[in-house]
A and B are shown apart, each in its own frame.
Chain A
């Protein structure tokens, strides 16, 4: 029997998800033995033309990481969708837009102007900008279009499964690959991770009081963290209550509050709104002035609550 074919691809991503595949360590040998890797341009020499030649649906599963920002990424997402039986959004960016999705707070013009003209380290007196088409010595060169919005993978093509995390942990990756290879798959559209809040996996959960009553919120570098006590109860905005478990609280074990990379559970649609709700209600203040003062200790609500999910959130970014 021929081995199942697997493809890996990256879009707007940092490379951490590719690293996460290699983080399987010795287990990757088992993966390589069980599957044929037919496309993985980050790690091996494959060409787009080779992918185009493959019959449609001939790849068992394509794991795509990164958000979608350019027309090229869009095109590759569509191509991989056509060639694969299962398209898997691998990692927070493909699932929800991730960190690149935070760019949806700015217009394309603002971004290009800053990056190519105004950034302090840039010298570009002629004001050149990347152009989708350009003539050099009589040759036409092209670049992909830079889209106005960052998108999650499922905002561009149909996605079968999601593997969450920034990046997904080796255990989650292994479980997802195992489920794929053995055909033990949950209903289409599922996130391949436990459907429980992170607090349920947190080693500090027993120290979480029933009712929290905070005067203000602290940023991790503002105060020493007590490693034995629930970080929320110490006043650090921890996204655990509104985030899916499965990472086994790696950040909290490293004494850092959860920033929400595993996304919401299946019962929640908008992770940012949910943690906003949960966090704001922990404030002790009752008078408007004291409430505003307490809440102002969260300097950047969008970046804190939607760190990985802005592009896929209800509003999808800044609307005006």
Chain B
């Protein structure tokens, strides 16, 4: 316990690092995932811009990357990161790897939530003279905003998880803190401190997401 008190500054730094990586990964992965999700949604058969070949290609790419366990993906994309000028270790690499991993998961979540918009609503907009692109970028994300917020909330929890794993490649954060000071030094109290902080982060994110979604959905 004394050891934990000694480590409080490190715990604080680790928490900030985790939040830093999660935030950046959410911004990049969230945006790329949103675009990819919109593309998947728009190109599927019967949608606004049906395109069998493009949809098929995107679908295969997403299905290829999504099931790769993050710890393996991280190792696998290290050469790619270096080739685009991102260092192969540290927080920057963690952001790179998590962005890549999360965008595919996010694209599926986005696609699924956009599909909840009733076709009749799209037809009404078309009948009112709206262009397909205006419907795709303007109306549909707005109509699906409630479920989208809940979907992103869900993914943030996964991002926190991935950030912890990235601790294994010196990305800093709570994962590294727990491994270095807790696990490797046989100090479960330290490990559990990291767990507690992660729980607090996850709860806060979930609370915020729920509140936002409630506001948007008016219930």
Bind each other: no
Binding site for A on B (CB under 8 A): none
